[in-house]
Amino acid sequence: MLKPAPTTPVAALKLAEICADIFPPGLVNIITGDDDLGPQMSSHPGISKIGFTGSSETGKRIMAAAANSMKRVTLEMGGNDPSIIMPDVDVRATAEKVFGGAFLNAGQVCLAVKRAYVHEDIYDEFCGALSEIAGQAVVGDGLQQGTTIGPIQNKKQFEKVKDYLEDARRSGTVIAGGRTRDGKGYFVEPTIVRDVTDGQRIVDEEQFGPILPVISFSDVDDVVTRANASDYGLGGAVHSADVEAATDIAGRIETGTVWVNQQLNIGPHIPMAGFKGSGLGVEQSVEGLAEYTQMQVINVARAQA
């Protein structure tokens, strides 16, 4: 049984049309509804397993509702995903990777880069490269050829993103974007904000929109501590010409997935899990499928001949 978010029913209904021609009647059920439908499903005695993708606050409510009937839950929730950029990288090539990881789907991806920590030796150069790439982005209707940044999905999130834009202007220096587009649709220019640090909303909270704060660092141990100082722990990345050193740093990042010299390399065969407030259980891969099974041990003693 699949319930899409109230703001995104169309793709799920199209999936229902496809499933109707493949599976027996009643095997796949897709139900659309408002926010009051989710709690009914979470507490329904006829449902023994819940898999949820969404905000951490909603995930907590699902856990509470599921407890009454001891439902098993898999939760894939928010993230404030850090990307650490060491001073030995190819600045332009790495900036393109980080930009792509931050602004995919206009930043509306749980595993998107939400904060970039750049070594002070290349901070100015890296910020400049990100700004240049952002300036080349084409904002508009995703159905139009050449568009690279589409809209915010709904008005409520659009208002939140605008609030983060205001915070970015107050907290740091906006060096690219920072504006919404007039007319039909919820369009926000890809925004790069520098001269910010931990403890500010634009850094500490998940923007879930096309805004990337860029934070300077000088010490590896310090940046690992700062990257881990979050209630979230979904994804992260480390970029360096020294792959072994980057891999060592990656092992110290408290996130379910850590990429080295890449961003958002995911697939159905790769497990995805979250630390802390970012999730519970595993999605995707054989391990993810096992979350939807029930182990049973039948231990038989045979009579002696």
For the residues 213-219, what does the mean pLDDT come to?
A: 98
For the residues 10-35, what does the mean pLDDT come to?
A: 93
Give 196's pLDDT tier (boundaries 50, 70, 90).
very high
H helix runs in 155-284, sequence order: 155-171, 201-204, 220-228, 243-250
H helix runs in 172-273, sequence order: 201-204, 220-228, 243-250
**Does the structure show a pLDDT above 90 at 38?**
no
CB within 8 Å of 66: residues ≥ 6 apart: 42, 43, 50, 72, 73
Q: What is the pLDDT of residue 231?
A: 95
Tens digits of residue pLDDT in 76-135: 999 999 999 999 999 999 999 999 999 999 999 999 999 999 999 999 999 999 999 999
Which residues are known catalytic residues? 76, 110
**Does the structure show a pLDDT above 90 at 244?**
yes
Q: What is the pLDDT of residue 79?
A: 96
Q: What is the pLDDT of residue 183?
A: 82
- Asked whether the beta carbons of 266 and 235 are under 8 A apart, the reply is no
Tens digits of residue pLDDT in 43-84: 999 999 999 999 889 999 999 999 988 999 999 999 999 999
CB within 8 Å of 130: residues ≥ 6 apart: 95, 98, 99, 116, 175, 176, 192, 212, 214
Please name the fold of domain 81-260.
Aldehyde Dehydrogenase; Chain A, domain 2 (3.40.309)
Q: What is the pLDDT of residue 273?
A: 95
Q: What is the pLDDT of residue 190?
A: 98
Nearest to residue 87, comparing CAs of 113, 123, 114, 115?
123
Q: What is the pLDDT of residue 88?
A: 98
For the residues 255-269, what does the mean pLDDT come to?
A: 97
117 vs 42 pLDDT, higher one: 117
Instruction: HSE, CB side, 13 Å, CA atoms: give it for residue 224.
Output: 13
pTM over cut 0.85: yes
Q: What is the pLDDT of residue 36?
A: 87
Q: What is the pLDDT of residue 35?
A: 84
For the residues 299-303, what does the mean pLDDT come to?
A: 93
**Does the structure show a pLDDT above 80 at 305?**
no
CB within 8 Å of 16: residues ≥ 6 apart: 28, 30
Q: Which two tokens stand for residue 211?
A: 């805004």
**Would you list the domain boundaries of the chain?**
10-77+269-290, 81-260
The pLDDT mean for the chain works out to 95
Tens digits of residue pLDDT in 131-163: 999 999 999 998 999 999 999 999 999 999 999
